[in-house]
Chains A and B, each alone.
Chain A
Amino acid sequence: MTQTLDISERVAHLERARAATAAAPARTTTARSGKLETFVITFGIAYAILYTLFERWNWPLFTYHPAVNHLDLFRAPGVPEDGPPMFWYGWVVLSGIAAAVVGTIATAVPKQWLPRATVFFCVLAALWPILYALGLYIDQEASFNAEFLRSVWTPAIPALVGAAAVTYWASPQGAQHIWTGWLLIMPIGGLAILGYSLLTYFTR
């Protein structure tokens, strides 16, 4: 009886040791998967925001001149004889690099802060163009001189304050719940802005 108990205790000890050995790589895999999840989600959100910004500000990493097969660094409209410049490649590559940097930084941010940080940046990215458009509308309609509203930097402060306020009042559960949702909200919002900028083509 004593021997049986002794053997079963040894077996149990062996099993615990085996379980602990198996759990260590499992934990590493889970941690890696968690970092990968953080990276891909942050990359998708950041890319949508950055691409919209770079396109609107016309900040390409390089400019390609297809008629003369020539590549220039950054924005280089070139001379009319060189044909039309192409900026799209430069926006795509620059957004990719910048979003990868943001995604990598996000993997180092503690998991509990990440959804709230995402709320802050996404609300900022949404509020800024909304307030800017509002400023343009006021300047157009107002009887007084509101020229300062035409600056892209004027709505920066109210947008920052608004984003900070929303982040402060957002519950941690709410921020966590909406975190992956930004993956759709930001590309659709970006497309709305970019689509609106093309309106002249459809109204000529």
Chain B
Amino acid sequence: MDVLFSVISIQTFWKILLFLHFAVAVALLAAITLQAAAVLLPAPQAAGGPIGPFRPLLSAPSATLIVILYVVQALLGAWVYVKYRTYVRIPMEGLRHWWTVGAFELKEHVVTMGLALLPAYWFFWREPSSGDHATIRKWITVFLAFTVWYSLAVGHVANDFRGVGS
């Protein structure tokens, strides 16, 4: 790390890390939203119909890719969290931004619950065409999409308080 910090400043390092965290978040958000939309949409029509042509595109992201992105994102978040706890949260409390602090605390738990479901999510998506576990597969996907959306929204608010470009 000392070699790295001789090239870039510590502040730049954390900003790059935070930006990387944001970039992976966007990729994950796109993938999981697409998959959630695919499972929520009605079954494909035999031919034609308004959703027919988009259906193959909607089922494109694989569960394995989403699991990898989710884990990488959680690890990046866990790393950035160190800086949040010392550099962001303390002034946030000082300025009485209680809603942001509370929402970020909840984000920790929301992400953790999402992580807990990843093995089951991956297992249920091994055979997406199978009728077994179709309902739970659908709702776990929707739940994971919710965790990603919530985390991105709250993370964005915290970043606006003290982060990249704030």
Whether the pair A195, B106 counts as a contact (CB closer than 8 A) is yes
Report the minimum CB–CB distance from B74 to chain A (whole Å): 9
Whether the pair B143, A51 counts as a contact (CB closer than 8 A) is no
Interface extent on B, as a size class?
A: 20 to 34
Give the contacting residue for B102; candidates A40, A84, A91, A202; CB below 8 A. A202
Instruction: Spot the interface stretch: B13-21, B34-42, B110-118, B156-164.
Output: B110-118
Q: Counting CB contacts under 8 A, is B76 at the interface?
A: no
Whether the pair A86, B143 counts as a contact (CB closer than 8 A) is no
Report the minimum CB–CB distance from B127 to chain A (whole Å): 10
Interface string of A36-64 (1 = CB under 8 A from B): 11011101100110010001000000001
Whether the pair B98, A184 counts as a contact (CB closer than 8 A) is no
Whether the pair A204, B105 counts as a contact (CB closer than 8 A) is no
Q: Counting CB contacts under 8 A, is A99 at the interface?
A: yes
Give the contacting residue for A183; candidates B85, B86, B115, B120; CB below 8 A. B120
Give B128-153 interface residues, CB cut-off 8 Å to A: 133, 136, 139-140, 143
Could you tell me the distance between the alpha carbons of A92 and B99 in the complex, rounded to whole angstroms?
24
Report the minimum CB–CB distance from B18 to chain A (whole Å): 16
> 5 tightest A-B contacts by CB?
A201-B102, A47-B116, A187-B113, A40-B119, A180-B136
**Contacts A36-B123, A41-B120, A92-B112 given; 13 further ones with Cβ under 8 A?**
A40-B119, A40-B122, A40-B123, A43-B116, A44-B116, A47-B116, A48-B113, A51-B113, A99-B116, A187-B117, A191-B106, A200-B102, A204-B98
Q: Counting CB contacts under 8 A, is A190 at the interface?
A: yes
Report the minimum CB–CB distance from A41 to chain B (whole Å): 6
Could you tell me the distance between the alpha carbons of A56 and B9 in the complex, rounded to whole angstroms?
39
Chain B binding surface, main DSSP class: helix
Interface pairs (28), CB distance under 8 Å: A39-B119, A40-B120, A41-B120, A43-B116, A44-B116, A44-B119, A66-B85, A84-B85, A86-B82, A86-B85, A89-B78, A92-B112, A95-B112, A95-B116, A99-B116, A180-B136, A183-B136, A183-B140, A184-B139, A187-B113, A187-B116, A187-B117, A191-B109, A198-B102, A198-B105, A201-B98, A201-B101, A201-B103
Q: In the complex, what residues of A have CB within 8 A of residue B83's CB?
A: 66
Q: In the complex, what residues of A have CB within 8 A of residue B139's CB?
A: 184
Whether the pair B133, A191 counts as a contact (CB closer than 8 A) is no
Could you tell me the distance between the alpha carbons of A191 and B116 in the complex, rounded to whole angstroms?
13
Q: In the complex, what residues of A have CB within 8 A of residue B108's CB?
A: 88
Known: A47-B116, A88-B108. A180 touches B133 (CB 8 A): yes
Q: In the complex, what residues of B have CB within 8 A of residue A198's CB?
A: 102, 105-106
Q: In the complex, what residues of A have CB within 8 A of residue B81's CB?
A: 86, 88
Whether the pair A184, B140 counts as a contact (CB closer than 8 A) is yes
Could you tell me the distance between the alpha carbons of A195 and B85 in the complex, rounded to whole angstroms?
19
Q: Counting CB contacts under 8 A, is A194 at the interface?
A: yes
Give the contacting residue for B120; candidates A43, A190, A195, A200; CB below 8 A. A43
Q: In the complex, what residues of B have CB within 8 A of residue A190's CB?
A: 109, 113
Q: Counting CB contacts under 8 A, is A181 at the interface?
A: yes
Chain A residue nearest to B123 in the complex (CB): A40
Q: Counting CB contacts under 8 A, is B60 at the interface?
A: no
Q: In the complex, what residues of A have CB within 8 A of residue B85's CB?
A: 66, 84, 86
Give the contacting residue for A83; candidates B86, B112, B140, B143; CB below 8 A. B86
Chain B residue nearest to A55 in the complex (CB): B109
